[in-house]
A and B are shown apart, each in its own frame.
Chain A
């Protein structure tokens, strides 16, 4: 029914070339769905006018939940009635995005019945994104998804849908079971996921090793990155095989080691593990010759975020090493302590990373009862006018404080 499609010269440009095209996909959907047809129309209008026509926010959701549905309306409903409402649903994906094809068909069928049929697999949160439906269809969609074992994900000021790399399912470098931890914490914190009670969003991402395939260090308020605390395992024979196949070990490995802790004497590779920064570079290049150590766990980092209220931030170290074993009680305790202080003292729309910057790392650590450690800072401060309480004898305090002023 291509003749019924709106005239979209600008969008049509995006169908050209060898790569996948969202315009092509929306046109396919538009053959049987008016929502998608009007979506093409409104998008072409926005492209030519250089003005967005979506309104955002509001009241929509499913009964009992405060997250998972993102309200969208267009501001030209008379012109494009099909997209007058165009709400998005986030559906919690399985850990590491493993599906059977049956499960995928089930989701697609439900969405063709209740929405535009368009999906985004997956959104930047990791969720299955169901794009475009009306307020009336939200509850029935949710009920059908729930019957098939799916639940909706996070949005707004809540715990966002946690995500993880495929870790132990496929990857020899995983230092802990990311999928198990992700699933466990998702289930444990269901209340926080569905009932927004925070100053702003809070994200968990689980990466099995410092390669960080889920980019947790840049995208999660709390990043759980797998790491080892003993020595990198070396198989000298397999290292030599790499060299025989043409790896330039000096220029491509030794000189690129940020810890400058590797030595190659032409026969044998040595690593001074105390200085290793756990960057994964040598392990990536000399795959199978080198492996993460045997004493494995995870490093917990805190605070990364994209620029919204303030600028972008990367996560920084909070716990240098924690064993990752069920039931993860130590971890859950730490999370609760962080939420307690952030919920109590955080300002509206202040991410935890911004909160820490505002109150100071020292005060934050004291509130969550974590000892300061050298791993938490980039380098020692030069300022000699710093006073450490534990160096004073009791009774000395008064004199010292006067000097300080």
Chain B
């Protein structure tokens, strides 16, 4: 069995994906988890991905958003909001 990545490593990879697709495609937590499994094989698992997402959210690097379903994005000024 391959050595697992650390939570921070997974979080960084996820962050990059979110940052790269910001404004083009909204990513769901499940999309990130699937992508991590594709890239890293059994160096990641669902639990590790969950922890990575939690760390992204709790550090404030990413935020949850809702548009018919739940997504993960970079914090930004909201289109719908009224000042």
**Chain A CB within 8 A of B81 CB:** yes
**Chain B CB within 8 A of A258 CB:** no
Report Cα–Cα, A195/B53, bound state, in Å.
9
Report Cα–Cα, A140/B67, bound state, in Å.
25
Least CB separation from A343: chain B residue = B30
**Stretch of B1-9, B14-22, B58-66 lying at the A interface:** B58-66
Least CB separation from B76: chain A residue = A59
List chain A residues, Cβ under 8 A from B65. 57-59
The answer to whether A58 and B58 have CB atoms under 8 Å apart is: no
**Chain A CB within 8 A of B23 CB:** no
List chain B residues, Cβ under 8 A from A156. 64, 66, 69-70
The answer to whether A73 and B28 have CB atoms under 8 Å apart is: no
> Distance (Å) between the CB of A341 and the closest chain B CB?
12
Least CB separation from B29: chain A residue = A197
**Stretch of A64-72, A123-131, A241-249, A379-387 lying at the B interface:** A64-72
The answer to whether A158 and B70 have CB atoms under 8 Å apart is: yes
List chain A residues, Cβ under 8 A from B80. 55-58, 71, 73
**Chain B CB within 8 A of A85 CB:** yes
Given contacts A55-B80, A73-B82, A343-B33, A61 and B69 within 8 Å (CB-CB): no
Interface size class of A (residues with CB under 8 A): 35 or more
Residue among A59, A66, A71, A346 with max Cβ neighbours from chain B (10 Å): A59
The answer to whether B78 and A58 have CB atoms under 8 Å apart is: yes
**Chain B CB within 8 A of A173 CB:** no
Partner of A198 from B30, B64, B67 at Cβ < 8 Å = B30
List chain B residues, Cβ under 8 A from A340. 46
Interface size class of B (residues with CB under 8 A): 20 to 34
Partner of B68 from A70, A74, A349 at Cβ < 8 Å = A349
List chain A residues, Cβ under 8 A from B75. 59
The answer to whether A155 and B66 have CB atoms under 8 Å apart is: yes
From 164 to 209 in chain A, residues with beta carbon under 8 angstroms from any chain B beta carbon are 191, 195-200
Report Cα–Cα, A42/B34, bound state, in Å.
44
Report Cα–Cα, A191/B47, bound state, in Å.
11
The answer to whether A64 and B57 have CB atoms under 8 Å apart is: yes
Report Cα–Cα, A71/B82, bound state, in Å.
12
From 308 to 354 in chain A, residues with beta carbon under 8 angstroms from any chain B beta carbon are 340, 343-344, 346, 348-349
**Chain B CB within 8 A of A92 CB:** no
**Chain B CB within 8 A of A157 CB:** yes
List chain A residues, Cβ under 8 A from B53. 195, 197
List chain B residues, Cβ under 8 A from A349. 68-69
Report Cα–Cα, A71/B63, bound state, in Å.
14
Least CB separation from B75: chain A residue = A59
> Distance (Å) between the CB of A202 and the closest chain B CB?
12
List chain A residues, Cβ under 8 A from B64. 59, 61, 65-67, 156, 195-196
List chain B residues, Cβ under 8 A from A74. 82
Least CB separation from A196: chain B residue = B70
List chain B residues, Cβ under 8 A from A58. 65-67, 78-81
The answer to whether A157 and B81 have CB atoms under 8 Å apart is: no
Report Cα–Cα, A90/B65, bound state, in Å.
16
> Distance (Å) between the CB of B63 and the closest chain A CB?
6
Starting from the known contacts A59-B65, A66-B57, A71-B66, 16 additional A-B residue pairs (CB-CB under 8 Å) come to A57-B65, A57-B66, A59-B73, A63-B60, A64-B58, A66-B70, A74-B82, A77-B82, A84-B82, A85-B82, A191-B54, A195-B50, A197-B30, A197-B33, A199-B28, A344-B34
List residues of chain A with CB under 8 Å of any chain B CB: 55-61, 63-67, 70-71, 73-74, 77, 84-85, 135, 155-158, 191, 195-200, 340, 343-344, 346, 348-349
Could you show 18 A-B contacts with beta carbons less than 8 Å apart? Answer: A57-B66, A57-B68, A58-B65, A58-B81, A59-B81, A60-B78, A61-B63, A66-B57, A71-B66, A85-B81, A135-B81, A156-B64, A157-B28, A157-B69, A191-B54, A197-B33, A200-B69, A343-B33
